[in-house]
Structure 1
Amino acid sequence: MKISIIVPAYNEEEAISFGLEKFVSLGYHKKYELIYVNDGSTDKTEEIIRTYPVKIFNHHVNKGYGAALKTGIRKATGDKIIILDSDGQHNPEYIEQIVELLNEYDMVIGERNKESFQVKRRQAGKNLIRRVGEFLVEQKLPDYNSGFRGFDKELMREMLHLMPNGFSMSTTSTLAFLKEGYTIGTFPIQVEERIGRKSNVRMVKDGSKTMLLLLRIIMLFNPLKIFFPLSLIIGFVGFVWGVVGFFISSRLPNSAIIILSFGIIMFFIGLLADQVAMLNRIKR
């Protein structure tokens, strides 16, 4: 089993050496295929990477976290792929545990323990996404957006057309593997505070992205789960309003007929959306 390790990097000149030094000291550059994807960095990130015995692929412009991972996955020659961040939060020493678990699971996720560093202002958005995700896949989610994970390359390549180019690729890939019935294993890791610059994630800017991500997840994985209950609620409101109107004025109110019609339309839109989502998830 050949292993490829992919590390996306964007303007990480202060942190990039941490992982590279660890890889070399552990001898991973001889044992595994090490791939760094420089996602349009404007600092010395590329120069630093080139001083180490690893493969490097460049984006001429910043395309996003997910796009960098896609490039690495397409270029990788390994049967299994491990990804981790380049900002010093993830310790490469955990890689051996992932490699061992990949013999048993299709995807392995490093679950952050209670001592791990996390930005508190992001917790509300993460909890909301988790609740929606668990509702859609009807099971408890592991650490769905952990950036330290491993997976089978061919299974992921079949789903690359579903994956976004932005920061939400970890979330989408977790839900996709669960929805397709693949096995996911977890093990505890401790994540440290990032080295150097602050995170690119911003409350206002990425809060709106989080809401769009929720809508995208719903429409991609189980739209009928939302549309069907909504159509029932609207239909019930229309029916009750119609009964009340009939007893008051001995006729069905026009507004009740409109509400009932809207509920029926909502149901059929849900059926159509479910079929489109199913077609989108067809393996390529």
Structure 2
Amino acid sequence: MALAPVTVIIPAFNEAASISTVVSDLVGAALPFIAEIIVIDDGSSDETGRLAEIAGARLVRHRQNRGYGAALKSGIRAAQTEFVLTYDADGQHRPDQLAALWTAHEAADMVVGARQALLHSPLWRMPGKWLLNLMANYLMRRRIPDLNSGLRLMRREVISRYLHLCPNGFSFSTTSTLALLSRGYDVLFTPITVAPRTGRSTVSLRAGLDTIVLILRIAALFEPLRIFVPASLLSGLAGVLWGIPYALAGRGVS
């Protein structure tokens, strides 16, 4: 029998409270397009890895914590299928939403599960998310419904070409979205809903600031005119405005 075309990749760091249920639910769903489930234990200090194996996942283990993006890279490199599907370990995603992503795969190189309402996201993160999306929409010349969703189906060969650009931290998702969009790949967004996460989030304010820098780096690499032309115009305008008082003073105008 031919190998099913999708490997589910679950990065996990100290997710013992949820990983058994997450893996068991995926195994129990028996989705015909899923070949295997790989959990990357990213240096957890709890029982995440052992519980993932018991539940039915193949385990890839990092000796120390290397970051969300590094865990995804390890999973992508360990996979052997045509497609990889990234899936969060905290219980926010549901197996019954994966069929919609798979249905859309023939028309896309990446299918992103676009969260319809971020009701469970802390209020202090909302302005940052809005700013990131505004920047990304401008730089990519299109509306991006969800820039950094952790649920996404990708052609393994395609995403593997850009792993060297993707960071080892939480900005992996954002960077992969922008890299494929900027290179003209077909990226589709399909609506999903998410449940409240189990356990404590490890995403920090620093991760958000790093994401802004990464967006600018990706844009400078693939869409430089979208950054440097406005920056040059603003710089020139600032110079003119700064010089006006001196010009007026030189003419004796008080």
The answer to whether TM tops 0.5 is: yes
1:198 to 189, 197, 200: 200
Map of 2:182 onto structure 1: 179
In terms of fraction of residues, the more helix-rich structure is 1
1:65 to 54, 65, 68: 68
Alignment of 1:46-125 (within 5 A): 46-114=49-117, 117-125=120-128
Task: State the one-letter code of the partner of 1:200.
Answer: T
- Asked whether 1:6 is paired with 2:9, we answer yes
Task: State the one-letter code of the partner of 1:225.
Answer: R
> SS of 1:50's equivalent?
helix
Offset at residue 96 of structure 1 (A): 1.8
1:127 to 130, 133, 136: 130
Question: Contact conserved, 1:116 with 1:190, CA < 8 A, in 2?
Answer: no
CA gap 1:43/1:221 in 2 versus in 1, 3 angstroms: same
Map of 1:21 onto structure 2: 24
- Asked whether 1:137 is paired with 2:140, we answer yes
Question: Contact conserved, 1:66 with 1:166, CA < 8 A, in 2?
Answer: yes
Question: Contact conserved, 2:120 with 2:196, CA < 8 A, in 1?
Answer: yes
Stretch moving more, 228-237 or 154-163: 228-237
CA gap 1:138/1:246 in 2 versus in 1, 3 angstroms: same
Distance 1:69 1:2 in 2: 18
Query: Rg bigger for which structure?
Result: 1
CA gap 1:206/1:185 in 2 versus in 1, 3 angstroms: closer
Offset at residue 198 of structure 1 (A): 0.9
CA gap 1:90/1:48 in 2 versus in 1, 3 angstroms: same
Question: Contact conserved, 1:8 with 1:65, CA < 8 A, in 2?
Answer: yes
> SS of 2:11's equivalent?
strand
Map of 2:40 onto structure 1: 37
> SS of 2:150's equivalent?
coil
Map of 1:162 onto structure 2: 165
Task: State the one-letter code of the partner of 2:142.
Answer: Q
Question: Contact conserved, 2:20 with 2:55, CA < 8 A, in 1?
Answer: no
- Asked whether 1:224 is paired with 2:220, we answer no
Map of 1:276 onto structure 2: none
Stretch moving more, 170-179 or 227-236: 227-236
Question: Contact conserved, 1:6 with 1:36, CA < 8 A, in 2?
Answer: yes
CA gap 1:218/1:104 in 2 versus in 1, 3 angstroms: closer
- CA displacement, residues 166-199 of structure 1 (integer Å, 9 cap, x when unaligned): 001111111111111111222221101111x210
Distance 2:243 2:9 in 1: 60
Offset at residue 140 of structure 1 (A): 0.7
Distance 2:32 2:13 in 1: 21
Question: Contact conserved, 1:125 with 1:210, CA < 8 A, in 2?
Answer: no
Question: Contact conserved, 1:108 with 1:185, CA < 8 A, in 2?
Answer: yes
Offset at residue 112 of structure 1 (A): 1.2
Stretch moving more, 235-244 or 101-110: 235-244
Offset at residue 219 of structure 1 (A): 3.2
Question: Contact conserved, 1:136 with 1:218, CA < 8 A, in 2?
Answer: yes
TM-score under structure 1 normalisation? Answer: 0.79
CA gap 1:225/1:79 in 2 versus in 1, 3 angstroms: same
Question: Contact conserved, 1:15 with 1:86, CA < 8 A, in 2?
Answer: yes
Offset at residue 243 of structure 1 (A): 7.5
Task: State the one-letter code of the partner of 2:225.
Answer: L
| Percent of residue pairs identical | 38
Aligned residues: 248
Distance 1:151 1:119 in 2: 28
Distance 1:249 1:121 in 2: 49
Distance 1:83 1:134 in 2: 23
Offset at residue 47 of structure 1 (A): 1.1
Gaps of 5+ in 1: 251-284
Map of 1:278 onto structure 2: none
